Amino acid sequence: MLLATVVGCGHLGMVVPERWSVTSLSMTGLHDDVFMPPQRTEIEAGQLVIHADFPLARRHRIVRELEQLRVDVSDRLGLPISDEPIHLYLFEHRDRYEAYAAATFPGFPARRAFFVKTDTSLSIYAHWQDRIAEDLRHETTHGYLHAVEGEIPLWLDEGIAEYFELPRSDGQVHLEHVDRLAGKLLEGTWQPDLQRLESYLDAGLFTQDHYAEAWCWVHWLLETSSERRALLQDYLTDLRRDPGTPPLSTRLARTEGGLAAASADLVDHVLQLEKLEIGR
In a domain, 188, yes or no: yes
Contact between residue 113 and residue 12 where contact means Cβ atoms under 8 Å apart: no
Q: Are residues 66 and 187 in the same domain?
A: no
What total of structural domains would you count in the chain?
2
Q: Are residues 113 and 197 in the same domain?
A: no
Q: Is residue 37 over pLDDT 60?
A: yes
Residue % of the chain over a pLDDT of 70:
87
pLDDT attached to residue 29: 41
Beta-carbon contacts of residue 234 (< 8 Å; ≥ 6 apart):
78
In a domain, 160, yes or no: no
Q: Are residues 112 and 20 in the same domain?
A: yes
Closest CA relative to residue 158, chosen from 226, 214, 222, 93 = 214
Read out DSSP for 76-104?
Answer: HHTPPPP---EEEEEESSHHHHHHHHHHH
In a domain, 205, yes or no: yes
pLDDT attached to residue 204: 83
Q: Round the average pLDDT of the chain to a whole number and report it.
A: 88
Q: Are residues 217 and 107 in the same domain?
A: no
Q: Are residues 239 and 106 in the same domain?
A: no
- As a whole number of angstroms, the distance between CA 108 and CA 85 comes to 24
Residue 106 pLDDT level (bands cut at 50, 70, 90): confident
In a domain, 153, yes or no: no
Q: Are residues 98 and 206 in the same domain?
A: no
pTM score of the predicted model: 0.89
Residue % of the chain over a pLDDT of 90:
77
pLDDT attached to residue 168: 84
Q: Are residues 55 and 140 in the same domain?
A: yes
Contact between residue 204 and residue 14 where contact means Cβ atoms under 8 Å apart: yes
Q: Is residue 23 over pLDDT 60?
A: no
What is the Cα 28 distance to its own chain's centre? 33
Q: Are residues 51 and 177 in the same domain?
A: no
Residue 27 pLDDT level (bands cut at 50, 70, 90): very low
Q: Is residue 16 over pLDDT 50?
A: no
Q: 55 is in which domain, residue-wise?
A: 3-148
pLDDT attached to residue 99: 92
CATH of the domain at 114: 3.40.30
In a domain, 156, yes or no: no
pLDDT attached to residue 215: 98
In a domain, 33, yes or no: yes
pLDDT digits 0-9 by tens, 156-209: 999 999 999 999 877 789 999 999 999 999 999 999 999 999 999 998 889 999
